[in-house]
């Protein structure tokens, strides 16, 4: 285990610890102030029994989901850091820095994919949702590093997404097109949680593992898939995708971001 993984595990223990209530309320308030967290849609900061509970806060006010089946929604609150179509099975983590999609996903590909990168900062809502109706066929866990995924780190570290710990959800859209939903770990991410597969234990195992489903798991657009226990990145790959949002735009979960075939 490298230094960043050790630090992340230690921070995860701190964030999960329930301190004496007055101290916990102070810790929560300081975190909210430092990162300018808006809690209008969430419970008050003092109500969370640990810092991790604050990180993984659930929405108290539901957001409406566009019922149009071909409309793609943002899976999370985030900043869009890159959009494109792969070339020679390569995608960009940031402008000018490519990585192998096959290495990231752990499989050979016979076609190119459209992709979009969603960066979750420490201030963002940390749960992620299905961007469209999905049939899940497999989930893969890859151990790896836990390098930061902020902009300076994206510019500094080559092949960052493929080096970091990650969970890959292999699915199909209602039109039977392949979709890959990749949750990338980062520094201080104590865990990547997938609600539909409790056996996924990130930042805990030193080997890769996958789970396949003989009967695909049906997930509706907007349904909660899981959560990060701190900020990180989602990378979405689809065979067909037409996005209506630009790079460097902030998006919210449930916001319309384009269409797919």
Cα three-residue angle 37-84-118, rounded to 5 degrees: 15
Are the CB atoms for 136 and 170 separated by under 8 Å? yes
Helix (H) or strand (E) holding 151: helix 151-156
* 133 noted as active-site residue: no
Kind of pairing between the strands at 166-172 and 233-238: unpaired
Kind of pairing between the strands at 114-119 and 166-172: unpaired
Q: Which of 4, 86, 191, 232 is catalytic?
A: 232
Residue 201, token pair as written in the block: 């234990």
* 124 noted as active-site residue: no
Cα three-residue angle 197-203-205, rounded to 5 degrees: 75
Are the CB atoms for 115 and 84 separated by under 8 Å? yes
Residue 182, token pair as written in the block: 């990749």
Q: Where are the alpha helices (DSSP H) in 64-134?
A: 101-105
Q: Which of 8, 45, 74, 77 is catalytic?
A: 77
Q: Which of 4, 124, 129, 191 is catalytic?
A: 129
* 129 noted as active-site residue: yes
Residue 261, token pair as written in the block: 């075939």
Residues taking part in catalysis: 77, 129, 232
């Amino acid at each position: 285990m490298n230094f960043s993984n050790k630090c992340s595990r230690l921070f995860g223990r701190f964030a999960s610890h329930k301190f004496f209530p007055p101290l916990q309320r102070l810790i929560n308030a300081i975190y909210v102030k430092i990162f300018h967290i808006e809690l209008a849609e969430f419970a008050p900061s003092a109500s969370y029994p640990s810092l991790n509970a604050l990180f993984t806060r659930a929405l108290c006010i539901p957001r409406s989901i566009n019922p149009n089946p071909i409309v793609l929604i943002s899976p999370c609150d985030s900043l869009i850091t890159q959009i494109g179509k792969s070339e020679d099975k390569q995608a960009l983590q940031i402008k000018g820095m490519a990585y192998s999609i096959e290495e990231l996903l752990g499989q050979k590909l016979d076609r190119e994919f459209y992709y979009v990168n969603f960066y979750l900062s420490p201030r963002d809502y940390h749960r992620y949702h299905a961007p469209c109706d999905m049939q899940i066929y497999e989930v893969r866990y890859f151990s790896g590093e836990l390098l930061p995924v902020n902009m300076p780190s994206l510019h500094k570290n080559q092949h960052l997404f493929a080096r970091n710990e990650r969970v890959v959800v292999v699915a199909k859209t209602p039109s039977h097109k392949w979709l890959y939903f990749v949750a990338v770990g980062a520094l201080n991410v104590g865990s990547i949680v997938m609600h539909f597969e409790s056996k996924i234990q990130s930042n805990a195992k030193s080997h890769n593992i996958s789970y396949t489903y003989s009967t695909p798991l049906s997930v509706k657009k907007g349904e909660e898939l899981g959560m990060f226990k701190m900020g990180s990145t989602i990378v979405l790959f689809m065979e067909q995708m037409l996005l209506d949002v630009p790079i460097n735009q902030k998006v919210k979960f449930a916001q319309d971001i384009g269409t797919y075939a």
